[in-house]
Amino acid sequence: MRRLTPFRTSRAALLTTLVAGMLVLSACGDRSAPEPAARPVLVVTPGAAVDSGTAAFPGEIRAREEAVLAFQVGGQLIRRDVDAGARVERGQVLAELDPGDLRLQQQSAQAQVASAEAEYTRARTDRARYAALVDQQLISRSQMDAQDAAYKAAQSQLRAARAQADVAGNQAGYTQLRAPRDGVIASREAEAGQVVAAGQAIFMLAGDDGREVAIALPESRIADFAIGQPAQIELWNRPGTRVPGTIREIAAGADPQTRTYAARVAIADDAVAGLELGQSARVYLAGASTGTALQVPLAAIQPGPDGGKAVWVVDRGDGRLRSVPVETGPYGARSVPVLSGLASDALVVAAGGHLLRAGQRVTPVDRENRPIQSDVPKPAAAK
């Protein structure tokens, strides 16, 4: 019998080892890779997110009557008697311009009145004398007509001079800026020594007649609100305390930049005590019904087939995602009404939909990061 050499023995052992390794790898390749762990997703239930139509709008406490106070003539501001926040009374002098030039104009106008009165007196005397002469037929009728015309011209010049004097007197009085009503100086825009033009803002006066909240209503829901509609007002420094009010005014047109409608909400007179101008507030308004009880967050809406809309829904049976086409109504500030295609007890993914895919296994959680109880089976442990 021939004996195997050591080289041939090691070669046979090597082949045996390679075949055994290939068999082991083949057996391992037949086993499927373990499924990734279920990903937690925030879900909401449309039936639990019923929109009662109540919306909150931030606003600011304002006076019902706000007036920009300005001089009717230009000049140098020589005196400013009040500051922002000062309480003033009707007729109180708030500021004064240098009256020098305007007083000179007033004196000039008064001198013109005196001259016109003298001319008028002379024309009246001449007219009376010519009237006596024409009765005696000592002068012609044409001379009398000339005196009548001179008299009427002098009379008109006198009236014009008196009117100019009145204007000059008024302008001299305009050098003092007075409060048109009782109120509070909300702001000041000029200082003593400054040269101001006629109509330039000097103060902002907030009247004492009522307080309101200035808010902006969204264009998408403007049809839900009307003048006289009741509201609830909550100050930001008094959380939980609300006072009654009503919508008093809604702008006829939307702001061209923000596309919102300016509105004023009047505060009940018995609730005005303690309110300060400029305070921040929140106004709660009950709008019209959207026609459906199903609402989902804006972030839940995803692109659907054929350019439509869809939402991700967690299957309660196997915990996997599926895309459900839906029909939506007009978009709100934070939510969207779902008109059809969605069940009221569906688990709708509320955020992060662009990172998900159909058939993916997920774990639904609520906004408190608590898992939602469902019929989803737990994945079997890998063997």
CATH code, residues 66-95+180-206: 2.40.50.100
CA distance 352 to 312: 10
pLDDT for position 35? 66
pLDDT for position 313? 94
CA distance 279 to 243: 14
Which superfamily, per CATH, for 54-63+210-286? Efflux pump adaptor protein, beta barrel domain (2.40.30.170)
Q: How far is CA 225 from CA 209, 215, 289, in A?
A: 25, 13, 11
pLDDT for position 117? 92
Fold of 100-173: Helix Hairpins (1.10.287)
CA distance 176 to 96: 4
Whole-model pTM above 0.75? no
pLDDT for position 329? 77
pLDDT for position 261? 93
Q: Per-10-residue mean pLDDT for the chain, 383 residues long? A: 49 57 52 71 72 74 88 91 89 91 88 91 88 81 86 91 89 89 88 90 86 89 88 82 88 90 88 78 71 75 88 90 88 79 88 88 86 58 41
Fold of 39-53+292-365: 2.40.420
The domains of the chain are located at 39-53+292-365, 54-63+210-286, 66-95+180-206, 100-173
pLDDT for position 52? 47
Lay out the sheet containing 93-97: strands in order across. 176-178, 93-97, 75-80, 195-196
**Which of the 8 DSSP states describes residue 370?**
P
Q: Do domains 39-53+292-365 and 54-63+210-286 have the same CATH topology?
A: no
